[in-house]
Amino acid sequence: MLTGEYQHNMDLKGRVTIPSKFREDLGDKFYVCKGLDGCLFVLSGAQWERFVEKVSALPMAQAKGIQRYFFSGAAEVEPDKQGRILLPQNLRTHAGLEKDVTVIGAAVRAEIWDTNRWNGYNDEQTEESIEDAMNLLEF
């Protein structure tokens, strides 16, 4: 399970360090795609395949928007010896990544955020909104 929060600097070439703890779960190659709320999703090969299968099982009329959004700009990445991945420009633009980034664990995926955007997202969360979401789990 991917958990934790790590802050890094993205270098001028668009490389971001993925924490070693995350790389153990993600594997040697994994996928980065546009995420929701202005971040990037990072999925292991196995999670990516599950996602592709689930989306492919939907009727085309329902799935085309999801397919276009997540798959059109997705990238298979492989960390270098320092644990860095190169993020394509289209993904950096989507997430507003320039320098300060935060990599978080979100259970079955990691997410890459612009640090200011991540802080703003957290500031918007309330106990009530989290409680409402927890009710879905009957927790």
In whole angstroms, what is the distance from residue 16 CA to residue 9 CA?
7
Categorize the per-residue pLDDT at 139 as very low, low, confident or very high, splitting at 50, 70 and 90.
low
State which residues form the domain around 93: 5-136
In this prediction, residue 129 carries a pLDDT of 81
Please compute Rg for the chain using Cα positions. 15
> Which residues 6+ apart lie within 8 Å of 81 measured at CB?
none
- What pLDDT shows up at residue 82? 95
CATH code assigned at 71: 3.40.1550.20
Q: What angle do CA 81, 38, 11 make, to 5 degrees?
A: 30
CB neighbours of residue 20 within 10 Å: 9
b (16+ CB within 10 A) / e for 66-104: eeeebeebbeebebeeeebbbbeeebbebbebeebbbbb
Share above pLDDT 90 across residues of the chain, in percent, rounded to a whole number: 86
Percent of the chain with pLDDT over 70: 99
Q: How many domains does the chain have?
A: 1
Instruction: Identify the band that residue 76 occupies on the pLDDT scale cut at 50, 70 and 90.
Output: very high
- State residue 14's pLDDT score: 97
Mean pLDDT of 2-24: 96
Q: Is the pLDDT of residue 110 over 90?
A: yes
